[in-house]
A and B are shown apart, each in its own frame.
Chain A
Amino acid sequence: MNYRRSFFITTCLAFGFAFLYIPILSMVVFSFNASKLVTVWDAANSPTLKWYYSLLHNEEILDAAWISLKVAVINASGAVILGTLAGFGLARFEQFRGRFTLNAMTTAPLVMPEVITGLSMLLLFVAMEQWIGWPAGRGITTMTIGHMTFSMAYVTVVVQSRMATFDIALEEAAMDLGARPVKVFFLITLPIIFPAVLSGWLLAFTLSWDDLVISSFTSGPGASTLPMVVFSKVRLGVSPEINVLATLTIAVVTVMIVGVSLWMTRAGKLAAAAAAAAVAAAAAE
């Protein structure tokens, strides 16, 4: 390699990662700041855990987090089932009626501006309520349906790209030995693609947990998710508690991502960190 060029690339990498991480690190650092001004460091009283204490006693935030958690878990579980079926079908069956449409319907939510998805979902729920009386009002159920619809698209892509490198001979061997297709799927296919399914679940959980726009459209009174509460607080300016929330989120995500990567490497499912590859593929597909 040409030295001058690698120096240039290294500089770019350093700049790129500094850009990605300085804002995150600043939130972590200032979460320990005693000052209410957030970004003005109060050297006399810092570091302190007082904002951690006040966040964990903030009823509004805790209630919202509980709602977010419920929606995210149900969403992820539903999205994983729908997305795995779609991803498996698209990867395995080369031709079927509606393949093109299914492909388009699972690609579009990945890029669709959220305001459009959110508005259209809400109008559907309103119309359905007029026609068939369900869903009566809006809240956790409608939000979960909204989240499932866009997060299943991500699961589909993750599963589909894993299936692309799947050795079909394994399935064929099982079928030659007389196993029914359903049994083959649960005994052979699912265990092999399980890392992708798990990544899909985690991705769907995160998408739902972080979503503001679709939740705002499809939610009703009394069902505010964590991002909705954070957004209304942040609109009024910076708040030390939000820094704490960000720090806790980053800690959980880091532990989760590193843990899953290590587990996958150790499990020997993939040589590289499979979560990383799956998400990279998700964004690429």
Chain B
Amino acid sequence: MRLLPPSSKVGISGRGLVVTLPYLWLVLFFVVPFVIVLKISFSDVDLAIPPYKPLLEWVGQNSLAIKLNFNNYAFLFTDPLYVHAFLNSVKVAFISTVLCLLIGYPVAYGIARATPTARNLLLLLVILPFWTSLLLRVYAWIGLLKANGVINNVLLALGAIHEPLNMLYTPFAMYVGIVYSYLPFLILPLYANLEKMDWQLLEAAEDLGCRPWQAFYKITLPLSRNGILAGSMLVFIPAVGEFVIPALLGGPNALMIGRVLWDEFFSNRAWPVASAVAILLLILLVPFMMWYQSVQARESASAR
């Protein structure tokens, strides 16, 4: 019998040492940077290296002046380009998440209900693309979707179409790319959740006269709620700020906020504007991140 909680076996000092290193690392390289982004989002653009003006300035002999410049934010709200990019990113991420769910749920369900041998093989097949470069997998779609690409060639050969469909550099291509790239992120947590399901509940429901679809709707779906939420967050949150996929598949008109931030930074060298975009994007996404974390906490509590 255990008289003491496990943690008490390790002294305070030992405990402190173990977590201090990763803790300090993350504070320095993950939290502090956000403070700097916030700071720079309030500064002026300058033709210097680095291209922004300091917030603090010595005025006269002994007075230090803080100059907070809200123009970057005002600019983002007045220029329709940025507002549009923000709204469009949320829309694209949301639709992609729903599409991922529609494709991923049956797959996760099918894997969870397969025999143990088949299950491991199928799981391996889901994980394999996840380990292969995202960039290369997005690149594959260029070859499939372009005017003389694989899909058009096959359709032309079959006589289904008479001239190539224009698919690459359209919103369609961007959705395909996002759904394709993020699908494993949805399938894996959903599978982990469904795998723990007690399938006897379904049998019981069916024995009591429930139709399979009804049993699914009334039992499986509510019980997998945490898996659905966790998987959806893993797709939605990064997809809002996605850069690579719109840049490669979306064409010049695919206005996504991650791409706007990239262009402001690399093409325009407008570091303060890019910082303001990052801060607004963060404000938009932090509630979802906190939601994700609380879903995770619930999920791991139920696993114990």
Contacts and interface: CB of A to CB of B under 8 A. Distances in A.
Interface of A: 1-2, 4-5, 8-10, 12-13, 15-17, 19-24, 26-27, 30, 37-40, 81-83, 85-86, 88-90, 92-96, 98, 101-117, 119-121, 123-124, 126-127, 130, 145-146, 148-149, 152, 156, 164, 168, 171-172, 175, 181-182, 203, 206, 209-210, 212-213, 216-217, 227, 230-231, 234-235, 237-238, 242-243, 245-246, 249-250, 253-254, 256-258, 261, 272-273, 275-276, 279-285
14 contacts: A19-B183, A20-B129, A85-B18, A88-B18, A93-B19, A94-B6, A102-B26, A116-B37, A212-B134, A246-B139, A250-B132, A276-B124, A280-B127, A284-B192
Nearest to A108: B289
A246 B140 contact: yes
A85 B137 CA distance: 33
B258 A115 contact: yes
A114 B133 contact: no
Nearest to B34: A120
Contacts of B187: 16
A89 B15 contact: yes
Interface secondary structure of B, over-half rule:
helix
Interface in B126-185: 126-137, 139-144, 146, 148-150, 153, 180, 183-185
Interface in B252-300: 258, 261-262, 265-266, 271, 274-275, 278, 281-282, 285, 288-289, 292-293, 296, 299-300
A20 B144 contact: no
Nearest to A156: B22
Contacts of B139: 27, 230, 234, 238, 242, 246
Given A121-B33, A235-B247, A105 B281 contact: no
B131 A107 contact: no
B7 interface: yes
A114 B129 contact: no
B42 to A, nearest CB: 13
B7 A93 contact: yes
Interface of B: 2, 5-7, 9-11, 14-16, 18-19, 21-23, 25-27, 29-34, 36-37, 40, 50, 103-104, 106-107, 109-111, 113, 116, 119-120, 122-137, 139-144, 146, 148-150, 153, 180, 183-185, 187-189, 191-193, 206, 212, 227, 230, 233-234, 237-238, 240-244, 247-248, 258, 261-262, 265-266, 271, 274-275, 278, 281-282, 285, 288-289, 292-293, 296, 299-300, 303-304
Contacts of A230: 135-136, 139
B212 A23 contact: no
B215 to A, nearest CB: 10
A149 B129 contact: no
A239 B27 CA distance: 42
Given A20-B126, A24-B132, A261-B120, 12 more contacts: A22-B144, A82-B21, A96-B15, A111-B238, A111-B285, A115-B261, A116-B37, A130-B50, A235-B248, A249-B136, A261-B124, A280-B123
A16 B104 contact: yes
Contact of B189 (A81, A92, A283): A283
A17 B240 CA distance: 25
B188 A283 contact: yes
Q: In the complex, which of the residues A105, A116, A231, A238 has the most CB atoms of chain B within 10 Å of its own CB atom?
A: A116
A93 B110 contact: no
Nearest to B131: A253
